[in-house]
Amino acid sequence: MKVTFRLLPFFQLLAAIVLAGFLCMPSVVEAKQKLLSGIHGQKSVMPKSCRACHRGMTMALSGEESTCLTCHGSDSARQEMEQKGYLRLIGQVELRDIEVELRKPYNHPALAVRGVHRKFETLPEELVNAARHSECVDCHDSHAVEKNVPFRGLKGKRVGNFITEVTEEYELCYRCHAESANLPGRSTNKHEEFKTTNPSFHPVEGEGKNTFVISLKEPYVAQKQSPNDISTISCGDCHGSDDPDGPKGPHGSNNPGLLVLNYEMEDGRSESSQAYALCYECHERSSLLANESFPYHALHIQGRIGGQDGTSCFTCHDAHGSTQYQHLIRFNQEIVSENLDGRLEYEAQGYSARHGACFLSCHSVEHGVVEELLPTDGDPAPADSGGLLPPLDGGSLLSPSPSLDLGGGLQPIDDTVQRVDGVY
């Protein structure tokens, strides 16, 4: 029994090769070349062709990473492959250690998950209880990978009832992070977040909705006008190795969220270039802290001057997109809750108007409650006058103090609860 079981895959492979050979006359050689069309098919670097991967008892491959790591893992493993003549590193060819990346604390579970990947499986997954996995072969078709087109040959993009070939990086990610029936509880459908019909989104699937994003650093722009402008970004701009010189791709990172740069998501942190390094890579820190767009950015991000009570971008913004609001607004409901009127909402007044209103409760500050305490004798203060908030250096709303000069419409409800009209 055991013998047949082990030999079966071997014969399958043999049969496939022979069959392919006969089907695509005139020669088996041609069929082989067709099957192995990518960079792995280059005899100059992989002289023994198929046998570099299909050999010994692993003739038929399970799709596990060990085959790949003989060349894409440690230096010593690679040297062994060179000595055995499977690999020839000549010219520009340099292979990086992907294994080191996969061993970092935030990673794609290629090493950790075994025996789940199935040959010819269909992704996005359709079974709710299917185990989650991500092997090298789920992201790279080893028979077709091309230099700088690492997902060439993969299928996964859903077009109506058909599943067609992946051409963009995000389509690769959507094989497992969008319509998959087996998404983990805390995860969300990424296509829903990046859809270009959303009120706002980071420009991955297409250019963004906001035509004037004042904090953007060169070469990033809202809309492409000259050849050097970059108006769309990729998942890989944010997700990937924390080592700028490391191999490209979302294999692993020391930063939470498998992010290329640090991003604090907790409340009550002090602001620094490191804390929100990810965002400051493309958005000018000084522009944000000078309140060039949202007039209360500094107040919220930095908290009380010199204090530790600022809040993260994550409290107000979703790094992917917002299905509800403009400007990537999505409130972190672990910190933000309904106001006394039972509202938790954001209202923008157009894409580049830079005016809007918040109705919510946060840090014991009631935003936008409609009640007799608000001024009744006229319109609320014009937004460009700084609204109804106290001056920035007068203290922080994030840590209410009863002695604060609250100004016009800002009234203490009691010692701990304060209120602002929430308009800017």
Q: Which 342-401 residues touch ligand HEC, going by CB under 6 A?
A: 348, 354, 356
Closer of 265 and 413 to ligand HEC (Cβ):
265
Window 122 to 141, contacts with ligand HEC (CB under 6 A): 123, 132-134, 136-140
325 makes contact with ligand HEC (CB under 6 A): no
Please state, in angstroms and rounded to a whole number, the distance separating the CA atoms of residues 57 and 51.
Answer: 11
Segment contacting ligand HEC by CB under 6 A, of 93-101, 158-166, 368-376, 393-401:
93-101
Closer of 221 and 369 to ligand HEC (Cβ):
221
Please state, in angstroms and rounded to a whole number, the distance separating the CA atoms of residues 41 and 16.
Answer: 18
Segment contacting ligand HEC by CB under 6 A, of 43-51, 371-379, 387-395, 403-411:
43-51
Please state, in angstroms and rounded to a whole number, the distance separating the CA atoms of residues 223 and 192.
Answer: 22
3 state SS for 251-270: CEECCHHHECCCCCCCCCEC
Structure tokens at 247: 């191999």
Segment contacting ligand HEC by CB under 6 A, of 21-29, 159-167, 250-258, 405-413:
250-258
- DSSP assignment, residue 187? -
Window 148 to 167, contacts with ligand HEC (CB under 6 A): 148, 150
Please state, in angstroms and rounded to a whole number, the distance separating the CA atoms of residues 48 and 85.
Answer: 7
Among 166, 213, 406, 423, which residue interacts with ligand HEC (rule: CB under 6 A)?
213
Please state, in angstroms and rounded to a whole number, the distance separating the CA atoms of residues 420 and 363.
Answer: 12
Please state, in angstroms and rounded to a whole number, the distance separating the CA atoms of residues 417 and 57.
Answer: 70
10, exposed or middle or buried, with CB in 10 Å at 0-12, 13-18, 19+?
middle
Smallest gap from residue 21 Cβ to ligand HEC (A): 9
Q: Is 157 helix (H, G, I), strand (E, B) or coil?
A: strand
Smallest gap from residue 286 Cβ to ligand HEC (A): 11
Nearest residue to the partner ligand HEC, using Cβ? 208
Closer of 90 and 372 to ligand HEC (Cβ):
90
Structure tokens at 297: 């950015």
Among 26, 184, 227, 342, which residue interacts with ligand HEC (rule: CB under 6 A)?
184
Please state, in angstroms and rounded to a whole number, the distance separating the CA atoms of residues 237 and 231.
Answer: 13
Name 216's bridge partners: 283
Among 144, 328, 365, 410, which residue interacts with ligand HEC (rule: CB under 6 A)?
328
Among 97, 157, 166, 300, which residue interacts with ligand HEC (rule: CB under 6 A)?
300
Residue with tokens 């990424």: 190
- Site size toward ligand HEC (CB under 6 A) is 125
176 makes contact with ligand HEC (CB under 6 A): yes
Task: Give which of 314, 342, 341, 343 is closest to 330, Cα–Cα.
Answer: 314
321 makes contact with ligand HEC (CB under 6 A): no
